[in-house]
Amino acid sequence: MNPNLSDLLTRTDSIMSGANGWHPDPDLLLPSGIYRGTVHAGVDLGTAYTVLIVLDENCQPIAGEYQFAEVVRDGLVVDFVGAVDLLRKMKSKVEEKLGFTLTSAATAYPPGVPQAEVRATANVLYGAGLDCTGLIDEPTAANNVLQIQDGAIVDVGGGTTGIAIFENGKVVYTADEPTGGTHFSLVIAGSTGSTFEEAEALKKNPNEQTRLFPVIRPVMEKVGTIINRHIQGHQVERIYLVGGTCAYPGMDKVVQEVTGIETVLPGNPLFVTPLGIAMHN
């Protein structure tokens, strides 16, 4: 596993929450606003969050933005105009922080998404004024960050649970199933009589998470059951959790209980895949 992982994720958290200490080398900044230095940008169009992250030449985060938006569902662009509009706004906010114009980025797709849909994802970038210079599947992106040789990376996002099994550093099996953070929120909405938006907020509020744990535990167990079904026939000795939903305290313990396999939560799981996408640009 990446020996600098915990540092990298801590730094990413601080950049994504607005920290800004980076400045472009003035000698490499053209009057047109184009930067001649090396930077890497990545766009993750998720079911719940659209994320834009920019890294420096050493693949360390220097600026980023993320926004809740329902423009993509499980890898399929469901609101093209909305997605382009959102990304263009996020791009210009990030450019303001950086002091130069972003010209290209990489993006990603969940395994199993048809090629036509992958092209639609790339077209969102072009529409927002970014050359799409890299397309990568999400588990491989996550593993750019985690750098595991063997084990399963499980990405529990807003809409789906993606599973990728790695052997000797290569993906040997992938699956994607429709259970994710949205289901957590729906269960909370049902049991507390709140709207979906209120339930989302309750779910992410650390002061509510202990009280709500028994309510969402069955959904966590379902994620564990899904993992069990897909790792049948593979020698998986460790499970690595990524994706925003895995930030709910206790998720790693429940998955470990249901699967009987050591389960690791590597820091804040929300930005692992977006970081790995940027590394691909």
Ligand X SMILES: Nc1ncnc2c1ncn2[C@@H]1O[C@H](COP(=O)(O)OP(=O)(O)OP(=O)(O)O)[C@@H](O)[C@H]1O
Task: Identify which of residues 42 and 46 has a Cβ nearer to Mg ion in the complex.
Answer: 46
Select the span of 4-12, 40-48, 76-84, 200-208 touching Mg ion (CB under 5 A): 40-48
- The reply on whether position 46 binds Mg ion by CB under 5 A is yes
CB of 122 to Mg ion, least distance (A): 17
Residue 158 interacts, among Mg ion, ligand X, none and using kind-specific CB cut-offs from 5 to 8 Å, with: ligand X
Q: Which residue in the set 151, 180, 224, 266 belongs to the binding site for ligand X (CB under 6 A)?
A: 180
| Beta bridge partners of residue 64, listed in sequence order | 53
Select the span of 15-23, 38-46, 50-58, 60-68 touching Mg ion (CB under 5 A): 38-46
d(CA 217, CA 224): 11
d(CA 272, CA 164): 14
CB of 44 to ligand X, least distance (A): 6
Q: Are 131 and 104 in contact (CB under 8 A)?
A: yes
Tokens, residue 51: 């994320």
d(CA 256, CA 238): 9
- The reply on whether position 75 binds Mg ion by CB under 5 A is no
Task: Identify which of residues 100 and 121 has a Cβ nearer to ligand X in the complex.
Answer: 121
Task: Identify which of residues 61 and 157 has a Cβ nearer to ligand X in the complex.
Answer: 157
Q: Which residue in the set 12, 160, 174, 259 belongs to the binding site for ligand X (CB under 6 A)?
A: 160
Residue 42 interacts, among Mg ion, ligand X, none and using kind-specific CB cut-offs from 5 to 8 Å, with: none
Task: Identify which of residues 231 and 275 has a Cβ nearer to ligand X in the complex.
Answer: 275
Residue ranges in 188-247 that form contacts with ligand X under rule CB under 6 A: 200, 203-204, 243-245, 247
Residue ranges in 146-165 that form contacts with Mg ion under rule CB under 5 A: 157
What residues line the site for Mg ion (CB under 5 A)?
A: 46, 157
Question: Which residues contact ligand X by CB under 6 A?
Answer: 44, 46-49, 74, 157-160, 180-182, 200, 203-204, 243-245, 247-248, 270
